[in-house]
Structure 1
């Protein structure tokens, strides 16, 4: 893990009191025999190490690297990593991805047929609950520090807690709201209460966060960016139109010091791929990244993160060395529904008429030996195009830190400026104010980067809600947005828009609308009588 996370992985341990409601998914305190809370919060320097754990909880899975002494048990440790779960729940459930592995509960995600006992939705619930618990404990303990810098640390912890609750609102809707560590069984909150909490937290901390921060830590722009995202989804989640607020905070982000990366280091005609290379913390991409999950193939190893996204997307005739890793796991591919979003930029087709090259450099697909159509979702990796978006090589083509190629260095942007450009455009089209000419200009900045010229630019007559949804797909695929976007457009469960194997059929079909949210874990419901299961489960 780069920067602040390195400070954690080199040996700072933290004992946090975690209340678990599930014996199988037990959240284990960190080395309580060797370090206590009093040790960790003895001074501001030690507290910074504790803060690093809050960030690390979104990237790592335990205390011994990729496997061993896991934070959450009852599921393969690599499966439980946050960004891997985000991919599974928000991308694998959509037209963006399929996986051939048959692990119990995994095929149900793409089929939109999961139950309340699904291992993956359950693990994400506990991963986010752990983050909330860690943040609550940090905020409580750091309050005793008199240093002014401690207030910034507390604001960062409050942001991370708000981010966890943003995810809980999105995925599960009705969860307990807890702001202190307690042994009491919590009461259930609804989306309105949770939404209001996240909103008020972000509004309160925006001026407490640093104006700028070291890479890997959030600043006040992150609060504005998360508000932009929160307000974009407000009508869907709480029935209130807050698109004007989305415009306001999108503007704040757009006018900040962050900038779209246009640094084409490797000279391939587009700066888009630099966003997803091993040195994306230093190759210019970092100027676009507002909030990241940081990885280092030596200092912080996990079988989630980009190690998962890169290895799992390699199979067939692909050469793993070309992507900086030592082998492929032959699992992840995409459907023709994603590939078709790039139809207007096709420059070459194979003998069967299927696309194999595009002028839009965001179309990062491996097609050699791969079938455009997926006949069955199985271990046949060649069914479906492979995705080469994430890579474990540096911009100059050199190998990343882990010379064995086992673990990736590539960071994952959780919030980047390009998303905010598209938030602005959508909110403007939905009546939030703003300026449509500005929206077109923002979209064209992204498309000019993608094409390496202005040949892909659009005019104001091209800008529509359906165009923005498709542009979000082209720009943000495999970054954890797709399910949320489709729900906002009422396309996730309905039969208005289908994709291969949606609902379990090869042609795709609609499913019950209650699957717009995931169930609360069965074991949590059985233990806490204060909780009511989400409708339909």
Structure 2
């Protein structure tokens, strides 16, 4: 019976994600119809499952954070990856309210919020309630980050009526209050479950980004808020986390065992449950590599050049992957080989040698397949390529991020020496040379090196005042692009107000 409840509620969540008519009728939201104390565990499981679609792949929330940044480009390669300009518009900051990916992500993030809310009116235990409230806060933080206004309902509300909407200031206050309230009732672990330190990490992000959420064009950083960031980081540090010696073990098929720094993850069970996580390597690998990929996503060379040659985060060979296919982890540049050292070729018979040079529209038939540096952040689970359900747990939060947020809060409150020590602790572990000084610019670069392809870059660039700047294959952009537009198909809710400039 429990399994049937889980499956049934996931089906409801997925129907909202995929059915336009239902989305229009119910404003993209779900109530607690049919939820009782007898199946609350199943509905909580469905709340975790609802996180898969928007988060666990490169296509959705990750794309909105990364393709819009100075890290990632999805070049149009002749007829491949055109998609009516959807990828180009993200990188160029030329999207509009009818952008399908922005619309889908907004809908799916709200679905998490409403499925989690459904747990609360049905007699959950304190721990179940706290977990559901955390998942709701997690998704609402993303909505706040992306759109600056957040639809919400309380459990049991009439779903045929428009949801209420919090503005940025009200949502920030709500998240601070909500996360503070639930921490005592959350479990200590494991990382694959909503837990105390996951909530503290999210609360750090609320305090750190508060000034940016309230004034994106000119963020401010209140000393009291920065002190909260530092204090929460100190509390998390008592959890026994350490930086994982092999950086890529944090993302490996057995990262639940190998990582010593993962704070919050989504558990994926090999071959039986999981997500589109294999898209993290399929999106970037060439058709003639193993596994064959879609030859799309690439790293920008200006970002790649921020790494020292000794920096282990830049990549190298990886046991269980390179010896199986020849593919390295990290950034793939130059000639590619198979596991026997045989040089690979592209579909035209040219050397499969990925070039740093890449344009947003590639036309040269002898270059378009190899244009752009490729990235393997999650080591490939070859045992489960057939099922497309790899064993790698999806990583939401790591201890390295906590340390970098603490360093940033210290730097912004003139505690520069202590901040420098923290950053150099990370750099030394990663094989990079120590900084002699710390500035906002090299701290932003360090966040990029440590957290690339982890869905943070847009948020970081906005907070550091860099998001509208020109960068590789993108001119300077207008201030309206600091927020995504409310999707056209959501404006039937009169409480949602289109963001300025759209």
- Give your verdict on TM over 0.5: yes
Determine helix, strand or coil for the equivalent of 1:188: strand
Determine helix, strand or coil for the equivalent of 1:175: strand
Q: In the superposition, relative to structure 1, how do residues 187 and 362 fare at CA in structure 2: closer, same or farther (>3 Å)? A: same
Count of equivalent residues = 443
Residue 231, structure 1, aligned to residue 192, structure 2: no
- Does structure 1 retain, via aligned residues, the 8 Å contact 2:272–2:389? no
- Does structure 1 retain, via aligned residues, the 8 Å contact 2:96–2:485? yes
**Match for residue 444 of structure 1?**
424
- Does structure 1 retain, via aligned residues, the 8 Å contact 2:150–2:166? yes
**Match for residue 332 of structure 2?**
366
- Structure 2: state its 5+ residue gaps: 76-80, 316-329, 336-352
1:100-499, aligned counterparts within 5 Å?
100=75, 101-104=81-84, 105-143=86-124, 150-180=125-155, 181-183=157-159, 184-210=161-187, 212-239=188-215, 241=222, 242-262=225-245, 271-283=246-258, 285=259, 287-302=260-275, 304=276, 306-315=277-286, 319-320=289-290, 326-342=291-307, 345-346=308-309, 358-363=310-315, 364-367=330-333, 368=335, 369-378=353-362, 380-393=368-381, 399-400=382-383, 402=384, 404=386, 406-431=388-413, 435-451=415-431, 456-459=433-436, 462-494=437-469, 498-499=470-471
Determine helix, strand or coil for the equivalent of 1:290: strand
**Match for residue 37 of structure 1?**
35
> For residues 411-453 of structure 1, what are the alpha-carbon distances to aligned partners after superposition, in whole Å with 9 as ceiling and x for unaligned?
221111110110011111111x7x54442332223212211xx
- Structure 1: state its 5+ residue gaps: 1-6, 62-78, 144-149, 263-270, 321-325, 347-357, 394-398, 503-508
Determine helix, strand or coil for the equivalent of 2:429: helix
1:21-60, aligned counterparts within 5 Å?
24=20, 26=22, 36-38=34-36, 41-42=37-38, 46-59=39-52
Displacement after TM superposition at 1:517 (Å): 0.7
Instruction: Tell me the distance in 1 between the aligned counterparts of 2:3 and 2:257.
Output: 21
1:507-526, aligned counterparts within 5 Å?
509-525=475-491
CA RMSD in angstroms comes to: 2.9
Q: In the superposition, relative to structure 1, how do residues 327 and 82 fare at CA in structure 2: closer, same or farther (>3 Å)? A: closer
Instruction: Tell me the distance in 2 between the aligned counterparts of 1:279 and 1:80.
Output: 20
Displacement after TM superposition at 1:207 (Å): 1.2
Q: TM-score, structure 1 length as denominator?
A: 0.76
Q: In the superposition, relative to structure 1, how do residues 246 and 80 fare at CA in structure 2: closer, same or farther (>3 Å)? A: closer
Q: TM-score, structure 2 length as denominator?
A: 0.81
Residue 501, structure 1, aligned to residue 473, structure 2: yes
Instruction: Tell me the distance in 2 between the aligned counterparts of 1:385 and 1:138.
Output: 44
Displacement after TM superposition at 1:457 (Å): 2.3
**Match for residue 353 of structure 1?**
none
